[in-house]
Amino acid sequence: MLKGNSASPGIALGSALLIVEEELVIPQYISTFELEEARLGQAIEKCKHELTILKEKTLANLGEDKAQIFEAHIMILQDPELLKKTLKKIKAESVNAEFALDAVSRQFISMFEAMDDAYLKERAADIKDVTSRLLYTLLKKTKISLENLSGPVILVAKDLTPSQTASMDRKNVLGFLTDIGGKTSHTAIMARTLEIPAIVGLHNITSSVKSGDLIAFDGETGTVAINPSEEEIKTFQKKHEQNLEYKKELHALVGLKSETVDGIHIELAGNIGTPADLEAFDRNDGEAIGLYRTEFLFMDRTSMPTEDEQFHSYAAVIKGLKGKSCIIRTLDIGGDKKLDYLHIGEEANPFLGYRAIRICLREPEMFKTQLRALYRASVHGPLSIMFPMISSLEETLAVKKIVAEVKDELRSKNISFADDVKLGIMIEIPAAAVMSDILADHVDFFSIGTNDLTQYTCAVDRMNEKIEHLYNPYNPGLLRLIHLTIKNARAKNKMVGICGSMAHQKDLVPLFVGMGVSELSMSAMHILPTRKIIRSLKHSECKNLVDEFLKLGTADEIKTLLNQK
Amino acid sequence: MQTTTVKVLNDEGLHARPAGVLVKTASSFTAEIELSVDGDTANAKSIMSVMGLGLTKDTEVVITANGSDAEAALKEITNLFNNKFHL
């Protein structure tokens, strides 16, 4: 068994097609400048034509993002420095175009390969792809095309070029195996986009495999078997069937309730950042939006979005939900997310600094603009507004006062809005969790943000490798705070959800169900797997689990308890 | 010959898309346009030499333009840098 870097999950079993590009022999001969300049010019034109066709095909099949690869290739092809240096060499040495081009392109390729930046390093592959296209054209040779494959195959190559992956015959490609590349290399990204199993960085797969060899590999673990035994084939097939079975099982859960065996319903909601995320949310049968992060509207621009711009985005999401409820979180900027036009300035501890609601309360006009846009959008469907980074009752009351002012203002202008907009707070600062019994009297709901709650409760910066182990979801203090918050909300009949990454963690879901959580919110891909877990649970047993957990003193003991079954 | 100094504001530096926008804009002028940083210079119309500079966020770049539309070119390119290439 060979082992490489897992690039795209899935099992592939089939015969190998070895793609070995004939080593180009670049001839060197004396020629005239005029002749070679014309040859080079014609070759560039021909390649430009090919690339334009590829770009259009890619745009139609794979979308804008991937088509940009060819836009970049056309720029490299027409690069004035590449041309200038090549022509200079042709003239100075009276050599043929391909000899000069090969030498010049090697300089550029090795310059990019030597760069520290991973992104720029990868660009060497693009330059190689373009210049080799030009060399093939000059030498009147054709590259192996993957556009028409005669049957299903596993592609085995040193590496696949961007133009090969974009133009290949997708229905006949079972998987890719390559000698070089890492998880973020072009081939790996492309394989994931196309949902084709792939392993990269296998070092010498091209010398270990012949075309026609039977190959079985597991893209998830990165293991490859060449001409596997009956036994090995069976193992791979079994895993393949299990994968398919699991996918089918998940798909069968679409339309079913997220209910425990004994009939307790837990709302499974989606986290989204833009209206475009609704597509995946729908496909995975989300029941509501538990967190719509509005930051993206404010990022990558030079000034604040206007009230109308915001209104259109919020309204688009609310309308798109067709009656399902939607929790929209007000601006949560600061910490690791900055806006240049907000002039937050450098801070020694940005996560303990000027961020989220703290900014909004100091910049009430900005905050009111967002609130007006939200209230205006509320006529399009059920809306809840959630405020991040609340640490006290004072802040909660200050927020509610501003909300009341905004509503008065809208009323005085005869602008309509819904009467039943719910107001909630995020519980992500320990002080708020501890005060949740009192806070529950003043809001309609809580949503527990576990990522920040963990970092603030355990006083751990998770980017700091030395203390990474302290960022532990099983920390008993953290779980007790979550328990306290849920209990306090339930006692006042308030909705309480969890929207951090712990919400979909397999072994924690039963504990949260036992604690009495009403909603779990997560990115779309986790919704169906979580529904599957919930449908296997018994609420009474989950409650017992909570009693057991409360007796334990260490994170390890809790982890063991939750993974007992 | 005209010169001005700008700063890279884009978080990801002058990679990928910003570099593409810069090269496209520079190519629409007839003037010769160069970027220089600490003695390294690059032809602003060449994607490979612009990316080759490996410009990161907050780097100061001197832009030099030479030709009949040099002034307009500098103005537009400065604008691009200051507005994060509208990305």
Yes or no, beta carbons of A123 and B51 under 8 Å apart: yes
Choose between A317 and B85: higher pLDDT. Answer: A317
H or E element in which residue A8 lies: strand A5-8
pLDDT digit string, tens, across residues A66-107: 788 888 899 999 999 999 999 999 999 999 999 999 999 999
Q: Which residue of B has its CA nearest to A80?
A: B46
* Catalytically annotated residue among A499, A526, A539, A542: A499
Q: How many CB atoms lie within 10 A of CB A384?
A: 24
Cβ pair A547, A535 in contact under 8 A:
no
Cα dihedral A102→A106→A108→A111 (10° resolution): -170
Is a pLDDT exceeding 70 seen at residue A511?
yes
DSSP string, B47-84: HHHHHHT---TT-EEEEEEESTTHHHHHHHHHHHHHTG
Tell which residue, A7, A14, A383, A402, has the closest CA to residue A192.
Answer: A7
Yes or no, beta carbons of A127 and B48 under 8 Å apart: yes
* The pLDDT value given to residue A184: 66
pLDDT digit string, tens, across residues A166-195: 778 888 999 999 998 877 677 887 787 777
* Catalytically annotated residue among A73, A186, A504, A526: A186
Classified as helix, coil or strand, A519 is strand
For the ranges A41-55, A118-132, B10-24, the maximum mean pLDDT occurs at: A41-55
CA distance A292 to A298: 13
* The pLDDT value given to residue A100: 96
For the ranges A296-305, A545-554, B21-30, the maximum mean pLDDT occurs at: A545-554
What's the gap in Å between the CA of B21 and the closest CA on chain A? Answer: 11
Q: Which of A71, A73, A81, A127 would you mutate first to test chain B, the one with the most B CBs within 10 A?
A: A81
Q: What number of CA atoms fall less than 13 Å from residue A536's CA on the CB side?
A: 12
pLDDT digit string, tens, across residues A313-347: 999 999 999 999 999 999 998 877 778 788 778 88
* The pLDDT value given to residue A181: 81
Cα–Cα distance list, A465 to A194, A418, A454, A551 (Å) = 34, 47, 16, 31
Yes or no, beta carbons of A111 and B52 under 8 Å apart: yes
CA distance A19 to A196: 17
Q: Which residues of B45-62 are buried (b: 16+ CB within 10 A; e: fewer)?
A: bbbbbbbbbbbeeeeebe
Closest partner residue to A75 among B47, B84, B87, by Cβ?
A: B47
* The pLDDT value given to residue B85: 87
* The pLDDT value given to residue A490: 97
Pick the range with the lowest mean pLDDT from A113-117, A476-480, A501-505, B80-84. A113-117
* The pLDDT value given to residue A64: 75
* The pLDDT value given to residue A444: 98
**Mean pLDDT of all residues in A442-456:** 96
pLDDT digit string, tens, across residues A373-406: 999 999 999 999 999 999 999 999 999 999 999 9
Question: Is residue A380 annotated as a catalytic residue, yes or no?
Answer: no
Provide the number of structural domains found in chain B: 1
* The pLDDT value given to residue A221: 92
ipTM over 0.85: yes
Residue A475 — left, alpha, or beta (φ > 0 → left; ψ -120 to 50 → alpha)? beta
Domains and CATH numbers, chain A: 1-21+144-231 (3.50.30.10), 22-138 (1.10.274.10), 255-562 (3.20.20.60)
Yes or no, beta carbons of B16 and A119 under 8 Å apart: yes
pLDDT digit string, tens, across residues A57-75: 888 877 777 788 888 899 9
Cβ pair A359, A344 in contact under 8 A:
yes
pLDDT digit string, tens, across residues A483-505: 999 999 999 999 999 998 899 99
Cβ pair A144, A54 in contact under 8 A:
no
Is a pLDDT exceeding 80 seen at residue A278?
yes
Yes or no, beta carbons of A76 and B48 under 8 Å apart: yes
What mean pLDDT is reported for chain B?
90
Annotated catalytic sites of B, by residue? Answer: 15
* The pLDDT value given to residue A71: 87
Closest partner residue to B46 among A79, A111, A117, by Cβ?
A: A79
Is a pLDDT exceeding 70 seen at residue A565?
no
What mean pLDDT is reported for chain A?
92
Domain that holds residue B24: 2-86
Classified as helix, coil or strand, A243 is helix
| B18 band by pLDDT with thresholds 50, 70 and 90 | confident
Closest partner residue to A340 among B9, B49, B51, by Cβ?
A: B9
H or E element in which residue B2 lies: strand B2-7
pLDDT digit string, tens, across residues A432-441: 999 999 999 9
**Mean pLDDT of all residues in B51-78:** 91
* The pLDDT value given to residue A391: 98
